[in-house]
Amino acid sequence: MSSPNAESTAFRSALEVIRAVEPRVAGAIAAELADQRESLKLIASENYASPATLLAMGNWFSDKYAEGTVGRRFYAGCQNVDTVEALAAEHARELFGAAHAYVQPHSGIDANLVAFWAVLADRVEAPALKKAQARHVNDLTEADWFALRRELGNQRMLGMSLDAGGHLTHGFRPNISGKMFDQRSYGTDPETGLIDYDKVAEAAREFKPLILVAGYSAYPRRVNFRIMREIADSVGATFMVDMAHFAGLVAGKVLTGDFDPVPHAHIVTTTTHKSLRGPRGGMVLCQPELAEQVDRGCPMVLGGPLPHVMAAKAVALAEARRPDFADYAQRIVANAQALAEGLLRRGATLVTGGTDNHLAIIDVTSYALTGRQAEQALLDAGIVTNRNSVPQDPNGAWYTSGIRIGTPALTTRGLGTAEMDTIAELIHTVLSQTNAGANPDGTASKAKYALDPAVADKVSRQAGELLAGFPLYPTVDLT
């Protein structure tokens, strides 16, 4: 374990070296730490990586090209890259109980692309795959994608709709996933907001997808992956789970049995940040039969892997294997439930009426606001959230009718259930004191709003006082 002095010295020294070359960059880095320390961060997809994880990214591994896989590189001199990639994969396999781990993806969308193409390459005989590889994806027109889908047999994917809590990469038409596949979405029950597994099974029987995708970015309940696998098996589909948002809850053994995707899915993708608390990046876990195709992610989808980020992944995954990470994961959920209960007591409307995981969705139409208005008003008061669609959202994906809130970051800072009730009061105060604005012609605006600056200042001060008791990166002093 490093000493506080060692961590402060490391970051101060790094900034001094940067400052000598480009002081504005050093200033921006220091300002970012200051801003994060002062922000009441409730963005469900953000967290705070450890000093060890952050420091693992700033090193000589950044200088290496390492296309290929461990022991099979297209460049010489990659023995040290082999070491950190193998360590990251080993920690991932042990942490999640996976047969195979591929740690090269640069992001969640990269991980999903690796998974999609691995399944296509494994199950579909098509010369079009090689043709597509020869062209840059940005050069492919809609007609090209249509021709490619036809040559691939017009393969189908069934995934969760965006407004129900799914992700852009689960078949949203403007996203590459929606161009690769003949895609259909399943939603949630209009009354409860919950997944109706009978309806998913019905859609699968009718549509007969090659890939059934589960996972979410804005669904506040657990998913029964055993049932989803049974649905996939019933139609001969490959079952894929995107656990980017809740990987930390799986690693921390909060989600087990039917709610742990790894034993049930053929292939699982994730990011390594969010609730897993690592560096920004992606990862693929899979059954043995897909391992060979997954390991061809480079050059099929990826360029050169980022060895410095793989080193940081190894560090973060090692941290997640420690007993204290399981306690952290439990506290994430306890905090999310306490925050949701605090909001409900104050009259807020939540999608599905609460949460079983790390996030909740506030339907802000109960405050006569759009998501965009609520997001900006909360930001004025020092509370960082993001607007999000609700099921059958009348305001669409840009303005939205919801606010997504999550607890991984604040839990990392040490805040507990008592503080969550205080935060619920701050959120409710802002939303209940914000009024929708009007356009110049008198029509209602979906973006303009009015919040008394005195209210915003008061809430911001209260948020700052709350955070003062839970310093961020207390072992790092840049002064």
Looking at the annotation, which residues are catalytic?
65, 67, 242, 271, 274, 280
Q: How far apart are CA 409 and CA 434, in angstroms?
A: 26
What is the chain's length?
Answer: 479
> What strand order describes the sheet that includes 386-388?
359-363, 402-406, 386-388
Query: Residue 375 and residue 256: Cα distance in Å, rounded?
Result: 33
Using DSSP, state whether 130 is helix, strand or coil.
helix
Are the C-beta atoms of 408 and 277 separated by less than 8 Å?
Answer: yes
Beta pairing, strands 40-41 & 383-384: parallel
Beta pairing class for 359-363 and 402-406: antiparallel
Instruction: Kindly state the tokens that stand for 273.
Output: 């940040």
Please give the C-alpha separations between residue 54 and each of 280, 305, 310, 376, 476, in angstroms, as whole numbers: 10, 18, 12, 30, 12
Amino acid at 114: V
- In 76-161, where do the E strands start and end? 100-102, 156-160
List C-alpha distances in Å: 15 to 21, 31, 99, 470.
Answer: 10, 12, 41, 24
Burial class of residue 383 (count of CB atoms within 10 Å of its CB; 0-12, 13-18, 19+):
buried
Residue with tokens 């605006």: 445
Q: How far is CA 271 from the centre of its chain?
A: 6
